[in-house]
Structure 1
Amino acid sequence: MDDTTPPTDGPHLVRRKTVLRAALAATAAVPAALLGGPALARTLASGDTVPPLTPACDDGDDPTPPQMEGPYFKPGSPRRASLLDAGTTGTRLTVSGYVFGLACRPIGAVLLDFWQADANGAYDNTGYRLRGHQFTGADGSFTLTTIVPGLYPGRTRHIHVKVQAPNRPVLTTQLYFPNEPRNNTDTIFDPRLLMTVRDAGGGAKEAAFDFVLNVPQDPGGPDPTPTATGGTWAQGTTYRVGDRVTYAGRAYSCLQAHTAQPGWEPPAAPALWRAL
């Protein structure tokens, strides 16, 4: 699945019928986009052609491959689905998709933490410009509003992301753009991480990508849910994903395993804690 053709040893592509079959087996609601609904980024082909979803998602197939974090990740990003701030310049980009487990069933409440370069190829390492995290809906869907990242020496265009299902390890990876000349020279570029991209009118672009996490699933069973633990947030305590605490009279669920430190109180660390 490089810019034009699938690699000979690449993963199996799932067609809509595969996901529909898994959804029906699970008696789950089928995402509207998979039925040719309003998610235009997902229906890129014309006529009767059924577009493949990327990356692979089929019972027992490989999950989305990881990639290096790079030097510019910052914890504690704000919770937001749009990374656009006042004064943000560049080509507007909307990325939509779903997060699936190994049985092609969508997973809700998945944390996705995005960060990227601006239109000039620079990262904001003092603040949180073009950084933010969000959670998938109950149907496993997400939508990110941002800009097409610029180029900087040695790399092709890419968007960084950390993806974590409840009670599961973090997947750190990167998303790429098709038909980029530097895809051929970037030493860590992986064609399995190509988004599907199209023009959306008015100079904007739309992209689609589905993550497949290494989360075992019974097609008829429930999605993973956090384990509930009680207690009041306390500095120095080691918290696991799914642990629940109270702070200032409000309940929170832990999103990433960590040891509590000053400044990481739940209201101040939305990348670590989700209010219940």
Structure 2
Amino acid sequence: MPSTRRSLLTAFLTLPLIDSARTRAFAQAAPELPLTPACDDGDDPTLEREAGPFFKPNSPLKRDLYPDSPHGERITVAGVILDTRCWPLSGSLVEIWQADEKGDYDSVGFRLRGHQFSDTQGRWWFNTIVPALYPGRTRHFHFKVQRPGGRVITTQLYFPGEARNAGDRLFDEALLLNIKQTGDGKFGRFDFVT
């Protein structure tokens, strides 16, 4: 039976933490989706990128964005928030905003925009769509991540194998999602280090 986004998310959410602290084995929730990028003690935080002109404050608390754009290609984006020692961080803010299936951002409301807080094991996830390309940019998601009491990291996550990656001035391989095609869409994994 082929994998589905739901089965990969379920595996991601049910794998126990080793020692209740270190996430090296935990971060391998689905064997096809290794920790991205690998977290080693003393790691630098996730690379920052500009927010761009489409950020809006006060996004709603929601993780299911797919109903905002039901004609787009489904993707579940998930990961763990880690500190620089690779310890999971619960209660961290994770905010996403993105283009729709036509390459447009909602500048009036909050379509394809939302936030959540990582769970007790540092995990976060959004059910959404693959954003379309638009002039001058490669395919990407925008994120803001803030650990409790920490500063906000603003970044962008990219899709592997995109022809426009090489020509996008903001693209960096360290910000590539690890993507698996499933029977009902894509499943992308990225762990933020803050």
Normalising TM by the smaller chain, what interval? Answer: 0.7 to 0.9
**TM-score normalised to structure 1 length:** 0.61
Amino acid at match of 1:28: S
One-letter amino acid of the structure 2 residue matched with residue 170 of structure 1: V
Structure 1, residues 54-111: CA drift from partner, whole Å, max 9, x if none? Answer: 1231111211100001000000110011112255321100011101001100000000
Q: Which has the larger radius of gyration?
A: 1
Q: Which residue of 1 aligns with 2:39?
A: 57
Q: AA paired with 2:71?
A: T
Cα 1:120–1:103, aligned 2, differ >3 Å: closer, same or farther? same
Aligned letter for 1:157? Answer: R
Contact 1:114 1:162 in 2 (8 A): yes
Pair 1:102 & 2:84 matched: yes
The residue that corresponds to 1:240 in the other structure is none
Structure 1, unmatched stretches of 5+, are: 1-19, 45-50, 214-276
Task: Provide the C-alpha distance between the structure 1 equivalents of 2:27 and 2:170, rounded to a whole number of angstroms.
Answer: 34
Describe the SS at the equivalent of 1:97: strand
C-alpha distance in structure 1 between counterparts of 2:156 and 2:64, whole Å = 18
Map of 2:26 onto structure 1: 34
Aligned residues: CA RMSD? 2.1
Q: Is the 8 A contact 1:79 1:133 kept in 2?
A: yes
Equivalent AA in structure 1 for residue 63 of structure 2: A
Is the CA contact 1:56–1:62 (under 8 Å) kept in the aligned structure 2? no
Aligned to 1:211: 192
Percent identity over the alignment is: 49
Partner of 2:103: 121
What is the CA-CA distance between 1:43 and the residue it aligns to?
2.0
2:65 equivalent to 1:73: no
Aligned to 1:92: 74
2:153 aligned with 1:171, yes or no? yes
Aligned-partner Cα distance in 2 for 1:32–1:93: 24
Q: Deviations over 1:5-45 (max 9, x none)?
A: xxxxxxxxxxxxxxx9xx76xx4256697276xx4xx321x
SS at structure 2 position matched to 1:85? helix
Q: Name the amino acid aligned to 1:43.
A: P
Q: How many residues align?
A: 179
> What does the per-residue CA deviation read over 1:86-141, in whole Å, with 9 as the maximum and x for residues that have no partner?
55321100011101001100000000010000011000000000000000000000
CA distance in 2, matches of 1:164, 1:180: 28
